[in-house]
Amino acid sequence: MPGHDNALRHPLARLRKQTGDSQLDFADRVATAHERLGFGYVGSYRKKVSRWENWQATPSMPAQYAMAEIFRIPRDKVWGLGWPRWLHLATGDAGRLSRPWTSPDTVDALLEADRPTLDSPATYLTVTGPDVTYLTESWHRALAHRPPVVPCPQRRIDARALTALDAHVQALEAMLATVDPRTLLSAARGSLAVMTGLLRASGYDQPTASRLHLLAARSAEVCAVLMNCLGNGHRAEHYLLAAIRSATNAGASQAAAMFMGELASLHLDLGAPKDAFAMADSALAATARIPGPQCSAFLYSRRARAQALLGGARAALRDLDLAHAALSSGPEDQAPSVGPDLGIDEQWLTVQAGAVWLHLGQPGRALERLAPLISSASALPSYPYFQVPRRALVAIDAQLATGELDAAVHTARWALDTVGSMPPAFVSQYQQRFTGHRTPATRELRERLTASDHEMY
């Protein structure tokens, strides 16, 4: 997805939009509450609210107390949680950040992730700015001190049931490569409901609980991938946060790190490279003792793209080298499968290198790397369904940046021909890329994209 304004990611902006206030209107409300609470007169300026929402300034404590009165949040929560974390009490997202990492609380997080949220923009991210540090630090503490599972007296889950559940989740992960995301989403949510139901109401020992938590985490990740394909980054983030928790409870640090890396990818797509860098860096630290080639390559590439977007060319290229070195260190991860096949191979890394050069403002060098992958329809034979349009988009952006409109149209057509029905999240992105170009070829492409979108309903 294209980048989004910082304000769209701040919880204050979300709350203000829910009340229908402009920034000036909200400044007036804060000033009125400020005076009513006995803190004296304060000017009401739109710029002040803008600075708060863009992470450029922190409101004074009296101003925060005034806002807390507007949103009906107790004062002790304001100073106890700090800015802007206490705002999540008003948005309803507080539990996603402050909930303990125990098994029962993780089950609650899984259930909450699967619950639709009202009035939340699809591009709104819950974990941003200072909350990223809070998330990564609490995650590392949970990895180091995993709470034990208290044995349950109910009827135990036997080994055959666990084997069947594992086969079911593997089938869902395999179907990501071919099945329409809307069709698959209901099955993935059903799988997650089964896992959470078993964790909540069945009897199990520690090994069984670990297997169930990992299966729940993998089910939540499938839901996240599908939600992202459908254009709802907000819900995708919630599923990934729950997946990280559940994998951590399973003692599967590499799986949790992969899911943290996918969360970093989501933040990259939504224009938050600083957050993405911190998440990828934290995930790399978590897997330092047991690095898997694909996992390490994936995480280094996330960090490389974040560095490039932040203008750190040398650091970005160094991380790309580390990603290549990690992938060449072994044929496959030695750990068991922890999720869908993300297609992490040398071709995938070539696309990431192209993206890094594009982020660094050098589309020509990006195309040098991408050219072999877009020269023929058979160049990417094994790419999963949900990855084809994402990878093609990197080439399209590079082609448009170098003025190669016809080539960009050709690449977009190839992506459409390959996937058949384009996932909705990518339909809008492809439409945006070609909206300013009015030629017969681009008009025909936009019509095909619109028709593809309608086929999904």
> What mean pLDDT do residues 215-241 have?
93
pLDDT for the residue numbered 120? 63
Percent above pLDDT 90 for the chain: 49
282 and 312 Cβ atoms separated by less than 8 Å: no
| Choice among 4-13, 47-56, 372-381 with the minimum mean pLDDT | 372-381
pLDDT at 196 over 60: yes
φ, ψ dihedrals at 131, nearest 5°: -65, -25
Coil vs helix vs strand at 267? helix
pLDDT for the residue numbered 5? 47
CA angle 126, 129, 130 (to 5 degrees): 100
pLDDT, one tens digit per residue, over 156-165 is 788 899 999 9
Residue 152: band (very low, low, confident or very high) from pLDDT cuts 50, 70, 90: low
Percent above pLDDT 70 for the chain: 88
Contacts of 274 (CB under 8 A, 6+ apart): 306, 310
pLDDT at 331 over 70: no
pLDDT for the residue numbered 276? 95
pLDDT, one tens digit per residue, over 231-263 is 888 899 999 999 999 999 999 999 999 999 999
φ, ψ dihedrals at 386, nearest 5°: -75, -10
CA distances from 235 to 142, 195, 325, 415 (A): 24, 19, 34, 25
> What mean pLDDT do residues 30-46 have?
90
Please name which of 232, 229, 219 lies closest in space to residue 259, comparing C-alpha atoms.
219
Beta strand residue intervals within 223-334, DSSP E: none
pLDDT for the residue numbered 297? 93
pLDDT for the residue numbered 193? 94
Q: Give the other-Cβ count within 10 Å of 69's Cβ.
A: 19
Residue 308: band (very low, low, confident or very high) from pLDDT cuts 50, 70, 90: very high
- Letter for the amino acid at 11? P
pLDDT for the residue numbered 4? 45
Please name which of 280, 276, 360, 271 lies closest in space to residue 313, comparing C-alpha atoms.
360
Query: 218 or 181: which carries more pLDDT confidence?
Result: 218
Q: To the nearest whole number, what is the mean pLDDT of the chain? A: 85
Q: Which long-range contacts (CB under 8 A, 24 or more apart) does 27-36 make?
A: 29/70, 30/63, 30/66, 30/67, 30/70, 31/66, 33/66, 33/67, 33/69, 33/70, 34/62, 34/63, 34/66
pLDDT, one tens digit per residue, over 356-377 is 999 999 999 999 888 776 655 4
